[in-house]
Amino acid sequence: MRATVSTGARLHVGFGNLSLAHERLYGGVGLALAEPRVRLSATPAETVACRANGDGVDTDEVRAYATTACELLGVPGVELAVEATLPRHAGLGSGTATALATLAAVARAHDRKVCPRERAPALGRGGRSGVGVAAFECGGFVVDAGHPTERFTTRPPEQGDWTVPAVLARHALPTEWRVVLALPDAEQGRHGSDEDDSMRAVVESADPSVADALAALTVRRLLPAAAEGRLGAFGDAVAEFGRLNGAWYADEQGGVYRPPAGRVVEELRESPAVAGVGQSSWGPAVYALTDADRADDAERAAHAALDAVGSDGDVLVTRPRNEGAAIEVE
């Protein structure tokens, strides 16, 4: 039996609260994307083997997750063929997408049932934000419930000793919407122990009034715009949500947006083809919301923005993804 799993990236717009003064901590906000994608196939084997079926495909992360997945499922091994992977530590959710795609492929190849949400903590995923897990499960625009603050203080629980935050709200987004990704040629975003240290510093000093502003923004503007499919209002609210989050991170990343993403955001804001601009997670990925009619103009604006900051990065036009991962079994 061969199982093939394919899933797209995600944008992480920000968190609803990073202050210990409130009852719930984190509370991720983001949306699933159709592209770029992770795509891999798995067949049962006696050991874990992994090969690349495409240029520039990184198999190290897949092999590590496959080893853990086999241990969790109690199966001897798997042979994986990796056709596509996401840019690592770029703000697109590569870790969670890769981990859950690998887990699902191993399980289906061995005819095992698995709940990605339940197994994600054992793979080291879903510890702060539940957006990546929800994007894998069902796609769409997602707001998660966060964690009780007494459990996630400045030092989170031990590895895997958590549950993935529940989905508080989820909306499918209009099919005519588009997302332009600008990926500057820059250092990877914070990850691993560096990210843990930065998050601890942010939480220790976070202004609780920012969370109050974000709560009002989410309920009064962001969720209504998503539910009603109003691109302009949604774009404005998403951009404001990201900007307010950036106030928490300014000391850690060198500004409301990290360099050079901040300059790319500033350049893209000037385009009339763009409805809202922001930085995904720690960057360097920058996203711009638009629609099918203005996508070409927005794409040109993204190239011009990268040129303006002197970056040789990439630009990709994609769309929101309203469905979960695709799983095929032969």
Residues 26-33, mean pLDDT to the nearest whole number: 98
Q: Is the pLDDT at 156 greater than 90, yes or no?
A: no
Residues 32-38, mean pLDDT to the nearest whole number: 98
pLDDT confidence of residue 139 = 98
Using CA atoms, how far residue 84 sits from 4, 47, 94, 259, in Å, is 12, 22, 11, 28
pTM of the predicted structure, to 2 decimals: 0.95
pLDDT confidence of residue 190 = 67
**Nearest Cα residue to 85 out of 42, 32, 38, 36:** 38
Residue of 191 and 32 predicted with greater confidence: 32
d(CA 270, CA 257): 17
User: What are the φ/ψ torsions at residue 313 (nearest 5 degrees)?
Assistant: -70, -175
Report the DSSP beta bridge partners of residue 139. none
What amino acid occupies position 157? P
User: What are the φ/ψ torsions at residue 271 (nearest 5 degrees)?
Assistant: -80, 130
**Nearest Cα residue to 105 out of 65, 61, 53:** 65
pLDDT tens, position by position, 163-196: 999 999 999 999 999 999 999 998 876 667 778 7
Q: Is the pLDDT at 40 greater than 90, yes or no?
A: yes
3-state secondary structure of 295: helix
Please, which residues have CB within 8 angstroms of residue 180's CB and are 6 or more apart in sequence? Answer: 274, 287, 288, 289, 290, 295, 298, 299, 301, 302, 315, 316, 317, 318
Q: CB of 244 within 8 A of CB of 213?
A: yes
pLDDT tens, position by position, 278-305: 999 999 999 999 999 999 999 999 999 9
The helix or strand, by DSSP H or E, that contains position 115, with its residue range, turns out to be: none
Confidence of residue 160 (pLDDT cuts 50, 70, 90): confident
DSSP string, 133-157: HHHHHT-SEEEE--EETTTSSSSPP
The CATH fold assigned to 3-329 is Ribosomal Protein S5; domain 2 (3.30.230)
Q: Is the pLDDT at 127 greater than 80, yes or no?
A: yes
Cα-Cα-Cα-Cα dihedral of 132, 20, 207, 189, to 10°? -30
Return the domain boundaries, the chain: 3-329
Report the DSSP beta bridge partners of residue 315. 182
pLDDT tens, position by position, 311-329: 889 999 999 999 999 999 9
pLDDT confidence of residue 54 = 80
d(CA 306, CA 275): 18
Helices assigned H by DSSP within the chain: 60-73, 94-109, 116-119, 131-137, 192-205, 208-217, 223-228, 231-253, 261-269, 295-308
pLDDT confidence of residue 195 = 80
Cis bond before residue 272 (omega within 30° of 0)? no
